[in-house]
Structure 1
Amino acid sequence: SDNILFSNNEYCYIKSLKTQAPPLKWKAHDGLVLCSDWCLVSEHIVTGGEDCKFKLWDRYGRSLCISISCDFPISSVAWSPDGQCFVVGSQNILRLCDKAGWPHSLEKLTSGSLLSLCWFDDSTQLVAGSGTGQVIHAQIVGRTLVHLLAPSKAEANS
């Protein structure tokens, strides 16, 4: 892409790498934007905020979906490589949503805040890393997250 997405405080920006035009700017959350991901397939953007909501945007910053308020801030979001769904991480929660933002699965964990999410290339599995050092492996079956392995501490010297 010829653009980059970044955030500062409660705002998101899309900056062109080819022109000197000012970046597109919009207020994304009531509080800090903590995470974001831009889908290469649909060009939709998902953001998570300190306001305990995740939001879906088009590439022009127009709102497509706003979640209900969750119990804790949204600490991570990630689109699947095929663009059909995304996951949202929070304190002890991993949520699977379809590309329109509708939640399909909620996995309750005991791992603390999920800070990093990474999909397998085929969009059927993902790995999540938590602030406590635990790693969670999950698989998508239908439209449901299936937690495969009990969380374990990541090896410090691996």
Structure 2
Amino acid sequence: MTWNSHRNRGEILRAVIAAADARVDGLLPLDVEGATTAFHDELDLLGALQLRWHTRLSGRIERELVHQPMALEDAVVAAWRGTADEMPGVRAVLDHYRAEPRDEVMAAALRKASAKEHHLLAVMAGQAGTHATAAAARAGARIEARARAGWRPGASLEPAVAHRSAGLLGRLRAALAA
């Protein structure tokens, strides 16, 4: 893959994410210009969305753990909810295809991605070691279920938008006040 095709693929992925977040219908936005040429098939695009979700979730967990170092599970739950608020369309797409995969290859890929996410959640919540085990998978699934149970789509989006639009001085004031 050349640098230009890699960069174009990234731009198209951003457009796909924006379309998914605008629609929140759970369907892959294959009608985005370039999506069908930049990605080999639905599974390729779904994998890119899964990777973007996982990367954003991992980063958000790290940030939450800085703010809640003694309440690990609460931090992980807050991070999952915050990521879902930031990427509601992507979350809807992943959930839709996990529940209704196109074929067994897609089902297997999404099961594996879900297991890895559950392991991440359990490890970061201090409930599992680095080796993936059945107990880690159960703990991660429980943490995800807890995050989903208290998640209200868009509930935490307003403060984030207000904070982003506050400008540098507003963010500095907020940081100093905290």
TM bucket (normalised to shorter chain) is under 0.3
Query: Which structure: larger Rg?
Result: 2
Normalising to structure 1: TM-score of the pair? 0.24
* Greater helix proportion: 2
Normalising to structure 2: TM-score of the pair? 0.23
